[in-house]
A and B are shown apart, each in its own frame.
Chain A
């Protein structure tokens, strides 16, 4: 039989029972729609979370004190580990591929101006911090590049802090008191918004050396190394390790490259996408059972037709293919409708709830349609085998 005739014959029964076919295909449509929609949401969240983390630039290596396998501020809570010091940071500056090194200290302190006061997050930072955070001063300038131990008492305000303390007034050149010490405001950062619930604008940046003294700490919480984007991150990380091991005697710190972090995170998010996709898959299975049911009914109703086809010289194989073809066409039509449903739903969701990002890659769409066809194939096999194995004489007698 020729391909086009095969499709036409397979489709004719579907068209003849419009209502029944529509409802059966609807089951598959809902299943595929759910798979596409849920994986779109999963993939959207994947992208969103990765974007949140990469907003700090991708060519950064973070060094934290203590040996931990997960990324995070472990702090110098382990007494056996030597703290990371400003001298360590200086030593790393000598690696040729390194563009800048920033030492971070973070704490809370009261910032006062006139009669207004506000408790905010204080960052001990250096001249390279804007590069690491991908954050620029909106007005004024950032902390100058000077020896962190003898740095002058300059402060750069986060945009929210500036609004709270100064309102519409120009804060540049004004004095504020941070933790009881006098600082002069030399800049205000642009607004960055929140990241994972942490307000990046309700902050103040002061030189690291001064922050260490303010919080009475020996070591910094994190050293961020900004390296040449052309350079190999693993190579730079190896050099950092060598230098720090030489200084500390053994590896009592953790080096995390951005690549490591994104890889771990990406792996977790992939599982999330897979899990929500599998959830949608349940409804797809239900849709497949619907096709199975309707095909069994169809074979029973069309026994006479099957007998006739055999009498006209159709082989068992042809009868088998015709019924499988019918199930596949039914499922594929449902699948196509489901794609529209899923992609449309994802788009609508993204449009109405901007906070919930969705993303539908083309490969998912193609795979979903293929999946629908496979469901049809699987559901069609049992009824079609039944049709093919009918005795033509019995089948012809059934009418």
Chain B
């Protein structure tokens, strides 16, 4: 599903060069559940942005679903991002003036899907996350857990094969946090490739495969034996 080879990402801050990713190789199969952990500045966010096609590597190749993503143009990457990748953010990133329904609908709207086709999809997504009674509410009228569930519904509405979650519980209390993790793991059970970036040890340990990063390099890649 995902194959990174010899990935380097160098930022130039002033006249200083920051090596955010240092020769990273990573293979992720379809349906895997990965956690990426590491201290601040270890490059895990940069890696996630790269995987999410929001950023391009300075050198190295990135194959997503057998497509060489590192050679694509800006617009081609936007299309690929739309179809293949779902994002879940720490701060939800819902559009405040749109209702829960409209927020979930947004990717379909941007892709130009007919309204008649959109409605049942969005309703099904909201229904499965227990959000149907909240469909007409705006984000400010929802609790944190509900907001993150709306964000998950939006991230998965295009049926992407890959779901990238950046500190998905970082802004939630533990109850709604575990609720959100249950939903993400349930999605993984149904076949989605799940990558979670987190500081939270407990959350990181739940993943079947754990990656630890330090100073832009992968220092640990542990496959957890099923217990």
A16 and B82 in contact, given A2-B112, A311-B54, A393-B54 (Cβ under 8 angstroms): no
B52 and A311 within 8 A (CB): yes
Q: Is B224 an interface residue (CB 8 A)?
A: no
Please classify how large the interface on chain A is, using the bins under 10, 10 to 19, 20 to 34, 35 or more: 20 to 34
Closest B residue to A2 using CB positions: B112
Q: Is B101 an interface residue (CB 8 A)?
A: no
Taking CB atoms, residues of chain B closer than 8 Å to A9 are 109
Of B21-29, B86-94, B184-192, B213-221, the segment with at least 4 beta carbons within 8 Å of chain A is: B86-94
Q: Is B83 an interface residue (CB 8 A)?
A: yes
Closest A residue to B52 using CB positions: A311
Closest A residue to B158 using CB positions: A313
Write the nearest CB–CB distance from B163 to chain A, whole angstroms.
13
Docked pose: A2 CA to B114 CA in angstroms: 8
B83 and A313 within 8 A (CB): yes
Interface of A is mostly: helix
B93 and A307 within 8 A (CB): yes
B109 and A1 within 8 A (CB): yes
Closest B residue to A311 using CB positions: B87
Taking CB atoms, residues of chain B closer than 8 Å to A314 are 78, 82, 110
Taking CB atoms, residues of chain B closer than 8 Å to A396 are 54, 89, 93
Report the interface size for chain B: residues with CB under 8 A from the other chain: 29
A310 and B78 within 8 A (CB): yes
Q: Is A13 an interface residue (CB 8 A)?
A: yes
Docked pose: A159 CA to B219 CA in angstroms: 112
Closest B residue to A17 using CB positions: B97
Docked pose: A317 CA to B73 CA in angstroms: 13
Docked pose: A16 CA to B96 CA in angstroms: 9
Q: Is A304 an interface residue (CB 8 A)?
A: yes
Write the nearest CB–CB distance from A311 to chain B, whole angstroms.
5
Docked pose: A162 CA to B89 CA in angstroms: 94
Residues 89-117 of B, flagged 1 when their CB comes within 8 A of A and 0 if not, give: 10101011110000000110111101100
Interface pairs (28), CB distance under 8 Å: A1-B109, A1-B110, A1-B112, A2-B112, A5-B112, A12-B97, A12-B98, A16-B96, A304-B91, A304-B93, A308-B93, A308-B95, A309-B106, A309-B110, A311-B54, A312-B81, A312-B106, A313-B78, A313-B79, A313-B81, A313-B107, A314-B82, A315-B74, A316-B74, A316-B78, A318-B110, A396-B89, A399-B93
Q: Which residues of A contact B (CB under 8 A)?
A: 1-2, 5, 9, 12-13, 15-16, 304-305, 307-318, 392-393, 396, 399
